[in-house]
């Protein structure tokens, strides 16, 4: 990103802090963001949409003791910034005192932070992106005669600058990019129709999978869904494929998230240092992996980040907290304001085929289709699409069924995690084998 743009936005954020101090605020923080990019979508060799985006925003929070006010604007002219500050100060006069509010502690600030190599602009023009999307779609449509239609192919690219500054004298900047290629197809045989998709996403365009691979993978996944059947209601082992296994870990993260804990709305309330996973499961958070989608040099409050264990040998080591929820819980922030940063789930030496063999007979789940998760009770019910497996071999696709259980039991009964890791997420895991779950079928 242009160094001048970064400096301009940083200078703007710091000047807003200075203005807030002159308005007698006891503390202040500013989050500023600007990005630009475009997205092209084609379908059946026709351009459906071309969207160019360019956004900018600034948000300020001012504190007068334990009173706070927040305001934002997308207009960066000096008069608009002054109006925003006045609004924030006005709001603060009418808010209730909140003893838990305020900046994260000064000694936690990331005054020195690493460059994580997150900025890799894609020098692709719109007409080139359209051609790439058309080629991707055409490759998938030509893969097999049963691929009869397309839901389109897309190419997206975006570059952005984020700045966070506060009255502790901290000002941090992050320049980042994100690019993707995706496609979706429809297959038809014997009057049955199925759809599926595939995508690749990366910080660096050189790390994207080739569009031919994206197309062929999307087409093959669509074909594999033909011939779907229902199965009988039963209790059975299941595998969550790597692509959706991150969703299960995300449910766990929701249960140890600060706001759910201080509201006492989590099935994992008061479970610190207790067994929450099977004993062989460990999960690390590593915010500083170069180029990774979940990487960040500091959290949304400027807090210094470092690798740490969330779960070790099945034991919950810490919660996921920002400074507000930490104060509510009488502890310290874990640097998770704004979310998690690269959760790495420890895997075994087995690949997916090895995991299928270990399961023997059961269900390989590849898509969730509705249903819900109750974080308060842990009750878990999801409609699914997947594949029935016998003796370690896939037999046929399965649809029209629901799985149900309780997250507390599900997490404790994880039998194995394979090494077919899906890196397209801030939660990085392989496929997850569960000992048993209830299947509601025909």
Residue at which a domain ends, from 198, 224, 250: 224
Dist. CA 84–CA 302, nearest whole Å: 22
Residue at which a domain ends, from 202, 224, 246: 224
DSSP-based three-state secondary structure for 49:
strand
- 384: how many CB neighbours lie within 10 A of its CB? 22
- Tell me, yes or no, whether 319 and 419 share the same domain: yes
Q: Is the pLDDT score of 115 beyond 90?
A: yes
Dist. CA 142–CA 222, nearest whole Å: 13
DSSP-based three-state secondary structure for 272:
coil
Q: Tell me, what's the pLDDT at 119?
A: 97
Dist. CA 278–CA 75, nearest whole Å: 51
Dist. CA 23–CA 99, nearest whole Å: 21
Q: Tell me, what's the pLDDT at 7?
A: 87
Total domains present in the chain: 2
Structure tokens belonging to residue 268: 């994992």
Q: Is the pLDDT score of 2 beyond 60?
A: no
Q: Tell me, what's the pLDDT at 442?
A: 81
- Tell me, yes or no, whether 217 and 80 share the same domain: yes
Q: Tell me, what's the pLDDT at 3?
A: 57
- Tell me, yes or no, whether 320 and 193 share the same domain: no
In DSSP terms, 171 is beta-bridged to: 165
The per-residue b/e assignment along 300-317, b for 16 or more CB within 10 angstroms, e otherwise, is bbbbbbeeeebbeebbbb
* DSSP 8-state class, residue 370: E
- Tell me, yes or no, whether 35 and 127 share the same domain: yes
- Tell me, yes or no, whether 183 and 240 share the same domain: no
Q: Is the pLDDT score of 296 beyond 90?
A: yes
- Tell me, yes or no, whether 9 and 124 share the same domain: yes
pLDDT in tens, 3-38: 557 888 999 999 999 999 999 999 999 999 999 999
- Tell me, yes or no, whether 215 and 234 share the same domain: no
- Tell me, yes or no, whether 211 and 306 share the same domain: no
Q: Is the pLDDT score of 1 beyond 70?
A: no
Average pLDDT (271-289) is 97
Structure tokens belonging to residue 88: 């924030």
Dist. CA 390–CA 306, nearest whole Å: 44
- Tell me, yes or no, whether 112 and 253 share the same domain: no
* DSSP 8-state class, residue 205: G
Q: Tell me, what's the pLDDT at 4?
A: 52
pLDDT in tens, 349-403: 999 999 999 999 999 999 998 778 999 999 999 999 999 999 999 999 999 999 9
Q: Tell me, what's the pLDDT at 256?
A: 97
Q: Which residues constitute the domain of residue 263?
A: 228-442
Residue at which a domain ends, from 178, 205, 224: 224
Look up the CATH number of the domain holding residue 130: 3.30.2290.10
Range 370-375, long-range pairs (CB < 8 A, 24+ positions): 371/402, 373/251, 373/254, 373/407, 375/251, 375/254, 375/255, 375/260, 375/265, 375/266, 375/267
Q: What average pLDDT is seen over the chain? A: 96
Q: Tell me, what's the pLDDT at 386?
A: 96
H helix intervals, 28-125: 78-94
What are φ and ψ of residue 430, in 5° steps?
A: -95, -170
Q: pLDDT class for 441, splitting at 50, 70, 90? A: confident
- Tell me, yes or no, whether 33 and 177 share the same domain: yes
Residues 6+ apart with CB under 8 A from 265: 375, 376
DSSP letters for 139-169? HHHTS-TTEEEEEEEEEEEEEEEEEEEETTT
Average pLDDT (422-434) is 96
Model confidence, pTM: 0.93
Strands in 283-285's sheet, in edge-to-edge order, are 315-316, 308-312, 283-285, 343-345, 427-428
Residues 6+ apart with CB under 8 A from 238: 362, 363, 364, 365, 386, 403, 433, 434, 437, 439
Extended beta strands in 205-293, E state? 234-240, 283-285
- Tell me, yes or no, whether 319 and 390 share the same domain: yes
Average pLDDT (70-95) is 95
Dist. CA 366–CA 398, nearest whole Å: 10
Q: Report the run of H or E that residue 353 belongs to, with start and end.
A: helix 352-359
- Tell me, yes or no, whether 213 and 237 share the same domain: no
Average pLDDT (132-159) is 97
């Amino acid at each position: 990103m242009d160094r001048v743009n970064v400096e301009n936005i940083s200078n703007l954020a710091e000047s807003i802090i200075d203005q807030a101090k002159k308005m007698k605020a006891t503390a202040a923080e500013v989050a500023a963001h600007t990005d630009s990019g475009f997205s092209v979508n084609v379908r059946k060799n026709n351009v459906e949409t071309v969207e160019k985006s360019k956004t900018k925003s600034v948000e300020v929070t001012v504190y007068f003791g334990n009173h706070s006010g927040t305001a934002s604007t997308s207009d960066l002219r000096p008069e608009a910034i002054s109006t925003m500050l006045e609004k924030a100060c006005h709001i603060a006069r009418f808010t209730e005192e909140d003893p838990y509010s305020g900046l994260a502690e000064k000694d936690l600030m990331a005054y020195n932070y690493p460059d994580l190599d997150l900025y890799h602009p894609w020098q692709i023009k719109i007409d080139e992106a359209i051609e790439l999307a058309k080629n991707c779609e055409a490759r998938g449509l030509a893969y097999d005669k049963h691929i009869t239609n397309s839901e389109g192919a897309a190419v997206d690219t975006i570059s952005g600058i984020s700045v966070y500054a506060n009255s502790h004298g901290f000002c941090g900047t992050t320049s980042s990019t994100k690019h993707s290629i995706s496609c979706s197809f429809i297959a038809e045989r014997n009057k049955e129709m199925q759809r599926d998709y595939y995508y690749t996403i990366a910080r660096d365009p050189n790390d994207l999978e080739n569009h031919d691979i994206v197309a062929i993978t999307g087409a093959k996944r669509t074909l594999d869904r033909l011939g779907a059947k229902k199965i009988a209601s039963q209790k059975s082992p299941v595998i969550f494929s790597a692509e959706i296994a991150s969703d299960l870990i995300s449910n766990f993260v929701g249960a140890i998230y600060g706001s759910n804990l201080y509201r006492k709305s989590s099935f994992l309330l008061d479970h610190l240092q207790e067994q929450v996973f099977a004993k062989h499961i460990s999960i690390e958070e590593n915010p500083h992996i170069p180029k990774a989608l979940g990487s960040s040099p500091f959290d949304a409050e400027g807090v210094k980040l470092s690798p740490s264990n969330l779960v070790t040998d099945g034991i919950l080591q810490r919660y996921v907290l920002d400074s507000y929820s930490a104060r509510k819980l009488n502890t310290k922030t874990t640097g998770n304001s704004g979310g998690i940063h690269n959760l790495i789930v420890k895997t075994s030496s087995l690949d997916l085929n090895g995991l299928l063999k270990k399961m023997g007979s059961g269900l390989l789940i590849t898509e969730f289709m509705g249903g819900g998760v109750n974080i308060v009770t842990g009750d878990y019910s999801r409609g699914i699409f997947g594949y029935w497996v016998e003796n370690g071999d896939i037999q046929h696709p399965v649809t029209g069924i629901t799985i149900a259980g309780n997250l507390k039991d599900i997490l404790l009964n994880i039998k194995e995690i394979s090494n077919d890791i899906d890196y397209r997420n801030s939660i990085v895991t392989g496929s997850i084998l569960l000992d048993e779950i209830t299947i509601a079928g025909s």
